[in-house]
């Protein structure tokens, strides 16, 4: 009989044998993901960074995603072992040394959600929420999105996702999917400073994207991952060291035109996606932000929220 438990309640042996069998079911937000392919670095990573997540050692139902972390070929299973994520469709993933299994795992899940899951409009964005609603931050990598997401967690916001805004078809409500926040190179010490050392995973060194670490989702984020929120603020942040803080209110047409290319499945969903993205603006207003420090970005967000409230009043 299968039962749902937290990763932290399981022994290493249990996790290993479940991963070997390909029967480890990870529940997170709206997705059930079946994971196979055991390796020590992956088990370490799950026990550290996914410790509060709900899993089953033996799946009780079918799943949205099945991710296999496998060797690229039989040789690489034993000799200088390597790993590639296999989400069941061809992906442009390079084999990584086995120590980087966490990266392969995160990459595999991201590709699965981005390309395979279409029950929601998926937008490449960071999302956090408080009781008044969600803040959606749509940006390219390197724009400071992850740092900003991590900083907002310290301000009492819940983590929805650092990678994907999942917008409900029909109601345009945002769905939490609290995976760990991925941090690159120089953002690692910044977020370590913000969140505290105990919230940062060990660093994966020398990956194709440089040094990588993760800021864990908190137990409260995971336990509330069924609680959706409406968007209140839609941001297009841009970080550049030394930049003067600046914000500009966008009209809805411009904001929609910028969200569409950030979606991984807009063309696939067509009309339903268009209607959902349009409906995001029922309660939300959009801003373009540029800033040179986390402090500045937080003040800009405060100003934007104030403007929105003044407008509503």
Partner 1 sequence: MAAGPITDDMKWRSSSDGYIATEFDDTYLVFVKASAETHFLNFLSFGIVTETESVAQTATELAMNLRRRFELTDEELTQELVSLTLSELDDTGLIWPETV
Partner 2 sequence: MIMQRKALKQIVGLKPLPEKVLKRIKLMIFADAHHVLGQMAAALTGAHEGKINDVFDNALLRTAHDHRMLHFEMNRLERALEGTEITPILLKGAAYVARDLKAAQGRRVSDIDILVREEELDQVEKLLMQAGWKADQETDNEYDQEYYRQWMHELPPMRHGKRGTIIDVHHLLLPRTARYKIGIDQMIDGARTIEASALKTFCPADVFIHSAIHAFADGAFDNPVRGFIEHYYLFQDLNESDRKDLCVRAEQVGAEKPVGLAVWCVGFLFSDENAQKMAKNMKKPMLFWLLRWALISKAMDGLTSPLAKALLYIRSHYLRMPMRLLVPHLTRKAIQWRPMSRKPVDLPLP
Shortest distance in whole angstroms from residue 35 CB to partner 2: 10
Which of partner 1, partner 2, none does residue 179 bind to, with CB < 5 to 8 Å depending on kind?
none
23: how many CB neighbours lie within 10 A of its CB?
16
From candidates 26, 49, 86, 204, binder to partner 2 by CB under 8 A: 86
Which of partner 2, partner 1, none does residue 118 bind to, with CB < 5 to 8 Å depending on kind?
partner 2
200: how many CB neighbours lie within 10 A of its CB?
24
- Cβ pair 40, 93 in contact under 8 A: no
- Cβ pair 181, 79 in contact under 8 A: no
From candidates 64, 130, 154, 307, binder to partner 2 by CB under 8 A: 64
Which of partner 2, partner 1, none does residue 242 bind to, with CB < 5 to 8 Å depending on kind?
none
Binding residues for partner 2 restricted to 87-116, rule: CB under 8 A: 88-90, 116
Which of partner 1, partner 2, none does residue 253 bind to, with CB < 5 to 8 Å depending on kind?
partner 1
For residues 161 and 273, what is the distance between their CA atoms, to the nearest angstrom? 19
Cα dihedral sign for 112, 115, 121, 127?
Answer: positive
For residues 90 and 93, what is the distance between their CA atoms, to the nearest angstrom? 9
Edge-to-edge strand ranges of the sheet holding 181-184: 181-184, 210-215, 204-207
Which of partner 1, partner 2, none does residue 298 bind to, with CB < 5 to 8 Å depending on kind?
none
From candidates 75, 94, 243, 268, binder to partner 2 by CB under 8 A: 268
38: how many CB neighbours lie within 10 A of its CB?
18
From candidates 79, 267, 310, 311, binder to partner 2 by CB under 8 A: 267
For residues 86 and 48, what is the distance between their CA atoms, to the nearest angstrom? 23
| Binding region for partner 1 (CB under 8 A) | 251-253, 256-257, 260, 266-267, 269-271, 273-275, 278
- Cβ pair 217, 180 in contact under 8 A: yes
Which of partner 2, partner 1, none does residue 293 bind to, with CB < 5 to 8 Å depending on kind?
none
118 binds partner 2 (CB under 8 A): yes
Interaction site with partner 2 (CB under 8 A):
21-23, 30, 32, 34, 36, 58-64, 66, 68, 70, 86, 88-90, 116-119, 267-270
């Amino acid at each position: 009989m299968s039962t749902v438990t937290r990763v932290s309640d399981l022994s290493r042996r249990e996790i290993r044998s479940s991963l070997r069998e390909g029967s480890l079911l990870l529940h997170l937000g709206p997705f059930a993901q079946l994971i196979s392919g055991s390796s020590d670095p992956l088990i370490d990573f799950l026990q550290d960074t996914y410790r509060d997540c709900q899993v089953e050692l033996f799946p009780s139902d079918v799943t949205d995603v099945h991710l296999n972390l496998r060797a690229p070929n039989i040789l690489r299973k034993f000799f200088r072992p390597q790993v590639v994520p296999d989400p069941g469709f061809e992906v442009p993933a390079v084999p990584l040394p086995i120590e980087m299994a966490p990266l392969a795992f995160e990459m595999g899940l991201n590709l699965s959600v981005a390309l395979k899951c279409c029950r929601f409009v998926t937008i490449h964005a960071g999302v956090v929420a408080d009781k008044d609603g969600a803040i959606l931050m749509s940006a390219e990598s390197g724009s400071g999105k992850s740092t900003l997401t991590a900083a907002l967690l310290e301000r009492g916001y819940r983590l929805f996702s650092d990678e994907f805004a999942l917008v409900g078809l029909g109601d345009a409500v945002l769905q939490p999917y609290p995976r760990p926040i991925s941090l690159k190179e120089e953002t690692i010490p910044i977020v370590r400073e913000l969140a505290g050392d105990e919230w940062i995973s060990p660093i994966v060194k020398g990956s194709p994207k440089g040094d990588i670490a993760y800021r864990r989702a908190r137990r409260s984020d995971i336990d509330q991952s069924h609680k959706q929120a409406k968007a209140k603020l839609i941001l297009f942040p841009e970080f550049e060291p030394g930049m003067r803080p600046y914000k500009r209110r966008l009209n809805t047409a411009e904001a929609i035109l910028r969200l569409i290319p950030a979606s991984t499945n807009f063309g696939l969903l067509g009309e339903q996606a268009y209607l959902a993205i349009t409906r995001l603006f029922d309660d939300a207003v959009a801003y373009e932000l540029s800033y040179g420090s986390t402090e500045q970005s937080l003040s800009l967000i405060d100003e934007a929220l104030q403007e929105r409230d003044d407008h509503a009043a």
